[in-house]
Chain A
Amino acid sequence: MEKIKENSSGWSNGMARNITFIVTKDCQLACKYCYLVGKNSNERMTWEVAKQAIDYILSHEDDFKEESVIWDFIGGEPFLEIDLIDKICDYVKIEMYRRNHHWFNSYRFSFSTNGINYHTESVQNFIKKNIEHLSIGITIDGTKRKHDLNRIWKTADMKKGGGSPEEERGSYDDVARNIPLWLEQFPNAGTKVTISSADIPYIKESVLHLYSLGIHEVNINCVFENVWQEKDDVKFEEQLLELADAIIDGEFYKDYTCSFFNENLGKPLDRKLQNQNWCGAGKMLSIDAAGNFYPCTRFAQYSLRDKRAWMIGNIYDGIDKNKLRPFLVLDRCIQSTLECIECEVAEGCAWCQGENYDSADTSTIYQRSTAICKMHKARVRANNYYWNKLFRKLEFKGIAKKESVDYAKLSNSNNLIC
């Protein structure tokens, strides 16, 4: 029987606590869409800060009751600090064992990297040592043309605050050479692609290109920031229709996934039964180089354009639980306008609490940004087309629609767009 590929479920299926170390704010690249407005090469986490953070977390087991933990490392580019990370991970393992902590057998180390240093000896040694407990995502935006449009090397002038487009050098070749090694070590790895206004014309070719590189799971989403130009939704819809045709006609749906297409998308939402918040901010913990705690990295100062950092404590004084309360009681309707609450295609329309905060009229997380609205509606139209076309095709092939729907639901139940 013909199958539609299931997306791999996230590790521990949402039952894990996410703890993020912002090990450095430096990066070799200067991606044009990067939301990290305050990147710099000075703020690197020290071992003392990292150790104290781990000690605090592991000695407050009652405040971290989730059955599993994901120790997440981000930057800037986290692999710039591989020696520190190696030391942190060794210490975490020893301490979880020594304390007989309930996370000892249920942990993972997770990385989002630009992939440039992936092949280096120190990174490879680290991977070999921890491979059983590792998730690594390499960000590659698609074809060379598309990737190099945004993901460019930082120049010496940029480091000083200058730089001009003539000097721009894309990073595609430096990342792509590491993809085979990565897929050999993590055959089920997926990649994350972020779409901004200028990327729209390249969506189809990029997704297909990633498939051709051997990446079976493409998690792709539009940025939440208000970057969209007039008619972007029309162009976006056209691209997605073309992509839908390519995936269905080429029968990629059997072995590949693309998170743009999801059967659970574009239906109205019940005010009571489907009132959950979308974003996990507040159920995570981020730690920066100074030892400050945040509800998510997007609330650290280097991620914010217009607002003050939302600090919820630090490694010395611990977590101020009052600063977490707004996140833990936040629901969908309380932060949405009536238009969003009554929207006919609300299901799957995502938001990022950090972007909501950054773009709100006052200093609040209770005002949902709707910059993505027209893009979501375009996605819903293309998504409807995709499933109608796919089901019709499968029906012609003699596969009952209901069965296909069941597969489709399974295949898309774990898409996280964040």
Chain B
Amino acid sequence: MLQYLIIQLDNTSTSFCHYSNTKNRPLLITLDNLKNGILFAMKENLMVQYVLPDYELPAEYIEAMESIDNTKIASYQSVYANNADIVVLNGWNKEYLFDKDDVYVLRVDKKELFGKCSEIKEKIKMCRRLNIVITDVETFTDVDFELYRSVLKEFSIALEDSFAADFVAQLNVLTDRMMLDKMNNCNAGCDSITLAPDGRFYVCPAFYYENEYNIGSLVDGLDIKNPQLYRLEYAPICRHCDAYQCKRCIWLNRKTTFEVNTPSHEQCVVSHLERNASRELMMSVRERVEFLSDKEEIKDISYLDPFDLRDEWL
């Protein structure tokens, strides 16, 4: 069921996810479209998430935006970074100042992640939650998978100490799976949709930036064709999977396999490396202290890509 409306306020509003923002020239959503978007959200009972640009918005925009309960996403460079609920870090910089109560999204490519792993690791404990989004997952090779395995190991060591010291730092790629008993994916097109600066609805901002199809407009209404394909039950591989923390990125699915419901090999392996690293971390912490006692142990499995099990389901 739809729960969230993401409003991409400007073409230059930061990406907070796997896609890159391909539009450099500012294009602010019209005030009418903003207000109509808010009205739509109110009528459909949707929570609004604003993705803010770096520059200051006109006062009447801010006034309209605050007419509904909302969450704000802004980049570290944005004038709104201090008011944002989620701050996006585009690329790594060791000078970043973290606030203990804030949630950060770190968008990095594999080269930076592998290269700056020790610096990043030090910051995990300095915020409420860090979400790492790898922006080139689809390019991972077998060598990258091994490197990522070691990066997760390093992060695990840092986290294990903090858990033993009773501070539960959250790092999406390691701690989410421990807490989850069922899938918790991006769910774009199913739980959330995006209103872009052009007044049209998209599955997520990536579909707007990559000139993919829209799913209706404020004028004509929402029109999601084949809506079932965004639901887990209609995802032929994911519905058999227990990498519950996986983003299951609808956009990357579309880009790599042409189908919104079918993930690439690379996405699956990366998510399983995370799943397995979570398992090991959970077991190590449990050897030292009582930890998440209401949660079941994560099972030991022999595959990294559930696609390899397809003969068992078909």
Contact = CB atoms under 8 A, between A and B. Distances in A.
Interface of A: 275-276, 310, 321-323, 325-326, 328-331, 334, 360-367
Interface residues of B, number: 22
Contact of A326 (B213, B226, B257): B257
Contacts of B213: 362-363
Contact of A366 (B259, B310, B313, B314): B259
At the interface, is chain A mostly helix, strand, loop or mixed? loop
B258 A310 contact: yes
A364 B229 contact: yes
Given A364-B259, A366-B259, A331 B226 contact: no
Contacts of A329: 236-237, 262, 307, 310, 313-314
Contact of B257 (A276, A325, A334, A367): A325
A322 B264 contact: yes
Contact of B258 (A276, A323, A330): A323
Contacts, number: 61
B256 interface: yes
A326 to B, nearest CB: 4
Given A331-B236, A331-B314, A366-B234, A326 B262 contact: yes
A367 B256 CA distance: 19
Interface in B85-138: none
By Cβ-Cβ distance, the 5 closest A-B pairs, closest first, are A329-B236, A361-B225, A326-B259, A326-B262, A322-B264
B261 interface: yes
A323 B256 CA distance: 7
Contact of A363 (B234, B258, B265): B258
B258 A326 contact: yes
Contacts of A275: 314
Contacts of A321: 265
Contacts of B266: 322
A360 B226 contact: yes
Nearest to B215: A362
A72 B139 CA distance: 34
A332 to B, nearest CB: 10
Contacts of B225: 361-362
Most buried by A among B213, B257, B263, B313: B257
Given A323-B256, A326-B236, A366-B259, 15 more contacts: A275-B314, A310-B258, A322-B256, A322-B265, A323-B258, A326-B261, A326-B262, A330-B236, A360-B226, A363-B258, A364-B260, A365-B259, A366-B226, A366-B234, A366-B261
Nearest to B237: A329
Contacts of A365: 259
Contacts of B265: 321-322, 325
A326 B260 CA distance: 10
Interface string B207-233: 000000100000000000110010000
B226 A367 contact: yes
Given A322-B264, A323-B257, A334 B234 contact: yes
A330 B225 CA distance: 19
Most buried by A among B258, B261, B307: B258
Contacts of A364: 226, 229, 259-260
